[in-house]
């Protein structure tokens, strides 16, 4: 009898818990034009579902500032969490980080820990660290760097 009551209490309480909603934005001309397959958002959707977060929309935009900023503004109206993939470099048309800095009204700055990681990455492969590669360690100051294994 107690187990049934406990189960009823859990069911009753979960009916009133708000579902966390997520939106995924994939950025990059190569994704938009079908030159590469967007496996990142598929993987993120699976992982979010495992922890009870409901993905309500996936959007793909090219490397255009206006499109990226519009996608962010629209997603913010619908979702509790916005996850972005793509457009991080190291090519000159990758605008994701500068657009995030503009959207959140902050500056871009070289993140020291990220710089160490980028430097070690190139050193371990015997490659030269170019200025374009160095910019991969630049992050909007309003962001928090996360290491994804």
pLDDT of residue 15: 57
pLDDT of residue 142: 92
pLDDT of residue 149: 62
34-61 burial by CB neighbour count: b if 16+ within 10 A, else e? Answer: eeeebeebeebbeebeeeebebeebbbb
- The model carries a pTM of 0.79
> Domains of the chain (ranges plus CATH)?
2-103 (3.40.980.10), 108-143 (no CATH)
pLDDT of residue 9: 47
State which residues of the chain have pLDDT below 50.
1-12
pLDDT tens column, 76-114: 999 999 999 887 666 777 788 899 999 999 999 999 999
């Amino acid at each position: 009898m107690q187990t049934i009551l406990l189960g009823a209490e859990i069911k009753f309480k979960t009916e009133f818990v708000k579902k966390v909603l997520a939106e995924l934005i994939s950025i990059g001309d190569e994704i938009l034009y079908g030159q590469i397959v967007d496996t990142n958002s598929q993987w993120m959707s699976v992982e979010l579902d495992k922890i009870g977060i409901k993905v309500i929309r996936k959007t793909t935009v090219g490397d255009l500032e206006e499109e990226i900023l519009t996608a962010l503004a629209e997603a913010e109206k619908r979702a509790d969490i916005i996850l972005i993939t793509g457009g991080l470099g190291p090519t000159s048309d990758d605008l994701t980080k500068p657009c995030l800095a503009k959207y959140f009204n902050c500056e871009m700055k070289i993140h020291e820990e990220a710089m160490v990681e980028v430097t070690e990455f190139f050193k371990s492969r015997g490659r030269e660290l170019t200025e374009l590669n160095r910019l991969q360690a630049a992050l909007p100051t309003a962001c928090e760097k996360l290491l994804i294994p």
